Structure 1
């Protein structure tokens, strides 16, 4: 599964209410047919910000990906999401039916007390959710230490996994509670509140990009009325 930015381009030519989205700049404006090589654009081409990243490029963050497939090609609203943690080196820690696993940032190798996980490529296209901003080295050391302490708990063995009662969210919320950051505590009272505060805002933004990407792939060139958005 590729985590490469597809490079959606946006520009505006003859209609200030419409923006044109594409993967390659056309020779002519899709609205007025004017040659784009000889006219001035109202908005020069720019790349639409890509909301996804590779987990190995993150540090001390929550990381989210679809349970099955990837975001751009497979994700649908209300589909199950899988969540994990990265440490200060970008290693991913996750808990599922195979138990707690760590996928190294700089290789596809995986360590686990129970089993070998799937390839780190699964985390090449994920959402990153920073929890503590402007971390210094002491904070990073503390984050890594709490991951280590959390990982030692017996509840992350494969036979302790429960789809509804003890899952990937349980692992992340347990870690965040042990991190003991005062501002986080109201969000950690339940999985519902946690998702509302941390997951939903990220997935809403990602859903807009996914819808745009799929439209551009289908149509080649997509013209959107910005007044209606």
Structure 2
């Protein structure tokens, strides 16, 4: 699905999501000219990032653009270096890619003030990726136990060890850092699909924080 900017307007006690600002309210037909400040359109931030512009990050991308983060598409994970090259593990071994990760869910791993870690990041990542563990001739790819996710998380834990910090379990990392972002991406894609099909997505206004898109409890929709 092509990336479009989602806009939210508030009117008639409704939140109206669309790709363009209509001349009149699709709910009541009143013209939007001379609208009040609280009814002004706001942009809904996209949950996606260009992974090649996100240094030192854990990245998740969808392998199927037609089912982009819809809950049924296969996901692929990787780690970016300081220049935006993404390292990921596949059946062919570790891939180093400077393109193809332009639409990702991003989990930043290094704060900007962590100069020492950032200066060693590329060396850590290259050494880790060159280990026999990720050589297909030595260890076969396994969808359950030896895959792109285990590659990424094991690297993160190796870095944590150099910082004398405890390792993260798969469940802990997924629950705390990955799942909330995946859920937001999935909701955003649902929102885009609804707008593409029906021009608008309309829900009862609940005075949500701007930019978060529809909540899990939104169940009224205008088609």
TM range (shorter): 0.7 to 0.9
Contact 2:67 2:73 in 1 (8 A): no
* Residue equivalent to 2:90: 96
- Asked if 1:35 corresponds to 2:31, the answer is yes
- Asked if 1:134 corresponds to 2:112, the answer is yes
Give 1:41-80 correspondences, 5 Å limit.
Answer: 42-66=38-62, 68-70=63-65, 73-77=67-71, 79-80=73-74
Give 1:116-127 correspondences, 5 Å limit.
Answer: 120-121=99-100, 123-127=101-105
* Residue equivalent to 2:129: 151
Contact 2:25 2:31 in 1 (8 A): yes
- Asked if 1:217 corresponds to 2:211, the answer is no
Which of 157, 173, 195 is the matching residue for 1:177?
A: 157
* Residue equivalent to 2:211: none
- Asked if 1:20 corresponds to 2:20, the answer is no
The one-character-per-residue Cα deviations of 1:124-183 (angstroms, maximum 9, x if unpaired) are 110110123234432212221210220121121234222222111121122112212455
**TM-score normalised by structure 2 residue count:** 0.82
Report the CA distance between 1:81 and its aligned residue. 1.8
* Residue equivalent to 2:221: none
Which segments of 5 or more consecutive residues in structure 1 lack a partner in the other structure? 105-119
Contact 2:9 2:16 in 1 (8 A): yes
Stretch moving more, 169-178 or 85-94 = 169-178
The one-character-per-residue Cα deviations of 1:3-41 (angstroms, maximum 9, x if unpaired) are x4x10111113x2x3111111111111122112124435
Give 1:186-197 correspondences, 5 Å limit.
Answer: 187=168, 189=169, 191-197=170-176
Q: Distance in 1 between matches of 2:134 and 2:94?
A: 5
Contact 2:64 2:74 in 1 (8 A): no
Structure 2 residue matching 1:100: 3-state secondary structure: strand
**TM-score normalised by structure 1 residue count:** 0.80
CA root-mean-square deviation: 2.1
Structure 1 residue matching 2:5: 3-state secondary structure: coil
Q: Distance in 2 between matches of 1:74 and 1:35?
A: 35
